[in-house]
Structure 1
């Protein structure tokens, strides 16, 4: 699972699987479920197509108008802060290392929704999907409204409005024939995606065609801003962050800089490679290994420093 690559494309559907840290409860009361769903409903960058909320994990089916990396972490941080303020708890709720975003080709969306609705049944929490309180099943049959956009998938099940509810019941009455792994990690050999190769090629090409390259001078300004922020918050001169000197307690400071520039500031890898004099393949491996050598809390602190300074 961990060997597959997450795709981070705008205007795509994703099945998001978000666990808590060490089975920590995500909801302090029944009102917390509503608060989380309301915050997602109000979010401008995402449309919610389905969900199943467990005490220790979120399962969301969404249309992401922007790349998930631009909104997901901030949204989770916002809920985490709300949780702390209302429950008196402390610490970070979500297990970032095990969050999975599986890109879903549109023709698989209904099956992905059925997979999500059947999760409580497979966990033996109930005998049928409609019995579980904290899922979007009731939205689809019209007995609750928690901000789920039901129209696209109901229209996919039946083009005739009057037949959609019956068709939904019929569709949900039978569990998926596909293996759960197809939904949890996708059916692609290299990417976390439930899609065919042709669709992925088109999706990636379309996203890249819409991307407007920024002048390298602007990238260099971002690079310098990263150095300034790290220097100010760690009281270390720029030589350490550029790898010119090594600090005994932070020997990989230049890789932390590259991680911040690429992962947090969303700068291109080639600029970091050029500035540090390290080939892109090696630098990419070093950036990916930063999370293995530094606590999540420390990396979130760096990310928050960037977000606060550049807001």
Structure 2
């Protein structure tokens, strides 16, 4: 009797269970309704071949997503990503599908995933030297030497139009507090001639090692220039004389040890094969450890040349000086 009663009420119990679940679902949906939102996403091309670069990026795409308020709120923290398989990209115009990554609980309402259009181009390569921009204050009595970057040259890859905009490759270094000798790894970036960043190019390597050494502040000293003739004039010609250098002195700077060792700098003037009086413009070669205080002016030396036959003729026909005039008597009138 009891088993019959339980069997008779089992259907009611199952119906009540299903009804309660449906009522719970309806109440839950009413409390957490599913919302719809339009999202604009920038597709990114991934795994692009190393020989290619994107010339024109894909345009923004519109995606319609749905979810509860809390699920859609996660999109603010974890935005949608739209990816394009770059392994299928070729130079020129490309049309490829997009893969969308969705957070948990969020669904995509688009009937089909969009296809994006973009263009790619073969990379151009160009070598550049590295310019180090350094700022720092040395201790009293010392100064910073010129910065050294290793490697000093890099290769820049990218669109031909972007490479043409590059004026220099920069490693920017600023002295830290209480730092003396500066040495660190520095990121590189590209600038145009107006010191504006050039984006979208790849610098290989991305970093260089920069070192800036301290050295004693050099002193200055006035050095006189002394003419040193190199070579010989043409046969049957001789050097009569030469002028002092013009200018005949320069101001140099360097360490005390280097400057105290000498007071003049030889000026090498090549006279090989000359047959006439000439004015030579000479470049000053400074010894190691010296540098000019200012840009050196052109140094000129005048070398006077004459034939040796003129010298021989002068020896055989030496003019005789005229006789000195003799004093003559004068008559003084009588008083």
Q: TM-score, normalised by structure 1?
A: 0.19
Larger Rg: 2
Higher helix share: 1
Return the structure number with greater relative CO, CA threshold 8 A, min gap 6.
1
Q: TM-score, normalised by structure 2?
A: 0.18
Higher strand share: 2
